Structure 1
């Protein structure tokens, strides 16, 4: 099976926080925003732009979302997609949601990753992130104001 990977333009970061940490105010959402908490640590995947320099983080990552693999019970999806990157010496950070696998690679190796996938017959496309319109933001704010007044 072949896959289509959507390459998102935001620069992402993977941040390491202590176990049980609160989500900091600077942790901004992007095309991918994820919180993973274990007994040993809390990890965030978030927009990299406001991550403080003193925080332990891997910054400057590009996210690729895998299309066509909606069934997370399908075996071998990540193996098929990660093998060409390993052969090229490209490090990855992977995360899976209920219906999508994400592969994060260093920004400076994103073009090499895309080319490695294309050589294997995969399709790589530039994704257009969905951002709320100004009107919908205002609607949300005015809706929140109405709730606050109750």
Structure 2
């Protein structure tokens, strides 16, 4: 029995990842938006936030487009990231991937998002546009 192809939702908003010192607390004014993530380790604090909100002196990479794996995914799902990342590895597209409780996310450099979508479609995945702020484009 074949399964339905994996569905990816491409969001149009630009985001960046900001590196702060370990234990740093980002200021709420810029570390939020329709899409934001905070990760702390002993060595660094990383914040994903809208590119327009990144403080001028911050150490940041971006802009990226956010690609969401349609979910929610079963918590014990195996191989989802491999299925998503293998076509991008073959196309030599660098990404940042991470998971939330319900699904997986991939940040694709904004200038490579069309090439990524083409690689995913060639691999049999479905890619559709959407918006983090509501509605479709």
Assess same fold via TM > 0.5. yes
RMSD: 1.4
Structure with bigger gyration radius: 1
| 1:37 aligned residue (31, 36, 40) | 40
What TM-score does the superposition give when structure 2 sets the normalisation length? 0.88
Q: For structure 1, which runs of at least 5 residues remain unmatched after alignment?
A: 132-150
Q: Name the CA distance, whole Å, in 2 between partners of 1:54 and 1:105.
A: 23
Contact 1:69/1:77 (8 A) holds in 2: no
Instruction: Give the structure 2 partner of residue 137 of structure 1.
Output: none
Q: For structure 2, which runs of at least 5 residues remain unmatched after alignment?
A: none
Where is the strand percentage greater, Structure 1 or Structure 2?
A: 2
Which has the bigger relative contact order, CA under 8 A and spacing at least 6?
A: 2
How many residues in Structure 1 have an aligned counterpart in Structure 2? Answer: 130
Q: Name the CA distance, whole Å, in 2 between partners of 1:112 and 1:130.
A: 24
Instruction: Give the structure 1 partner of residue 13 of structure 2.
Output: 10
Where is the helix percentage greater, Structure 1 or Structure 2?
A: 1
Q: Which of structure 1's runs of 4+ aligned residues deviate more than 3 A?
A: none
Q: Name the CA distance, whole Å, in 1 between partners of 2:65 and 2:90.
A: 19
Look up the SS of the partner of 2:22 in the other structure. Answer: coil
What TM-score does the superposition give when structure 1 sets the normalisation length? 0.81
